[in-house]
Amino acid sequence: MACKNFILINLFCQIVVISLPANRNMKIKILCFGITRDIIGQFEYTTSLENAATIADLKQHLSANFPTFTSLKSLRVAINSEYAEDTAILKENDEIVLIPPVSGG
């Protein structure tokens, strides 16, 4: 990960190096319905992904962190109440919703 290094000299003349992550990550909030809420364990899941991450990146992140996702029959993602393709790019304030296989009716 690229870092910006800040060197501070404090009152005791010690040199302190603080590494801050470069501003390459965004924080996204994901709403989890149906079985995805059981897998993640909460309805609102907040995580950070690289800027300009796609839905495919999000799915990969979910499978890596919650292996049970790989057992679902399908997983679609909606951005702002519309189904989105795997190539769609996520933005920080989007409403991102996990849609496991639907079963209305």
Partner 1 sequence: MNQHIEIILSDKTLNEQACLDFVKNDDSGGIVTFVGTVRNQTKGKRVLRLDFEAYEPMAVSEMRKIAEQAVEKFSLKKIAIYHRVGSLEIGEVPVVIAASAAHRGAAFDACEYAIDTLKETVPIWKKEIFEDGEVWVSATP
Q: How far is the CB of 55 from partner 1 (least distance, A)?
A: 16
CB 42 within 8 A of CB 15: no
In the complex, least distance from residue 83 CB atom to partner 1, rounded to whole angstroms: 8
SS3 22: coil
C-beta closer to partner 1: residue 48 or 94: 94
Q: How far is CA 67 from CA 22, 57, 59, 71, 101, in A?
A: 29, 15, 11, 8, 17
In the complex, the residues that contact partner 1 under the rule CB under 8 A are: 31, 33-35, 38, 71-73, 78, 81-83, 97, 99-105
CA 54 to chain centre: 10
CB of 49 to partner 1, least distance (A): 21
Identity of residue 73? K
CB of 39 to partner 1, least distance (A): 10
* Nearest to partner 1 of 36, 54 (CB atom): 36
Residue 61 or 100 with smaller CB distance to partner 1: 100
The C-alpha atoms of residue 35 and residue 83 are separated, in whole angstroms, by: 18
Q: Which is nearer to partner 1, 10 or 71 (CB)?
A: 71
